[in-house]
Amino acid sequence: MTVEIQFKRLDARLGSEFPLPDYATAHSAGMDLRAMIEAPLELAPGDAELVPTGLAIHIGDPGLCATILPRSGLGHKHGLVLGNLVGLIDADYQGPLMVSLWNRGKKPLTISPGDRVAQLVFLPVARAALRQVDEFELSARGEGGFGHTGTR
Ligand SMILES: O=c1ccn([C@H]2C[C@H](O)[C@@H](COP(=O)(O)OP(=O)(O)OP(=O)(O)O)O2)c(=O)[nH]1
Ligand SMILES: [Mg+2]
């Protein structure tokens, strides 16, 4: 499904020097986000920096959220992942979209202005109304968890 999402361009280089976030292929689930930094950023091993993406979005619909996820190639090959592991963008958030870049690897990494460093994925959300009970109707799993079903 396609949803229309309002955005504001906070950095004039987006949409001119660098393309706006977009899907790389017809069926990509994520649109890549760029590091809209002023100058190259060196991330020492273990360091994390909060980096602007140059845009703000307002999802507006409580039945939707967005997540910011690492890009597989950068995460696996270079150790560039997210300081919060996954970013969660609430439907009522209107501030600048930020990415926490974490070098979890063993070598310094240099991020250049405009690099595509993470990806934005929109997801449906179920919001819960919690109802307290004394007992659950017993399920097949019951309280078994944390490896209860084995590995083979
Ligand atoms: O990677 C991220 C994660 C979050 N946000 C923004 C959007 C989100 O709606 C807001 C709050 O995020 P979250 O609820 O995860 O953080 P919090 O520490 O609980 O902050 P708050 O108390 O504002 O909810 O920060 C980003 O821009 N980038
Ligand atoms: Mg929160």
DSSP 77-127: II-EEETTSSEEE-TT--SEEEEEEEE-SSS-EEEPTT-EEEEEEEEE-PP
Q: For ligand 1, pick from 67, 93, 94 the residue to mutate: most ligand atoms within 8 Å of CB.
A: 93
Annotated binding residue at 57?
no
**Per-residue confidence (pLDDT) for residue 48, from 0 to 100:** 98
CA of 71 to the centre of ligand 1 (A): 20
User: Which of 62, 63, 75, 67 shows the shortest CA–CA distance to 122?
Assistant: 67
Q: Looking at ligand 1, which atom is closest to the CA of residue 96? A: 27
Is ipTM strictly over 0.95?
A: yes
CA of 115 to the centre of ligand 1 (A): 22
User: Which of 86, 124, 80 shows the shortest CA–CA distance to 102?
Assistant: 80
pLDDT of 35-90, one tens digit each? 999 999 999 999 999 999 999 999 999 999 999 999 999 999 999 999 999 999 99
Could you identify the residue written with the tokens 């084995």?
Answer: 150
Quote the mean pLDDT of the chain. 97
Annotated binding residue at 89?
yes
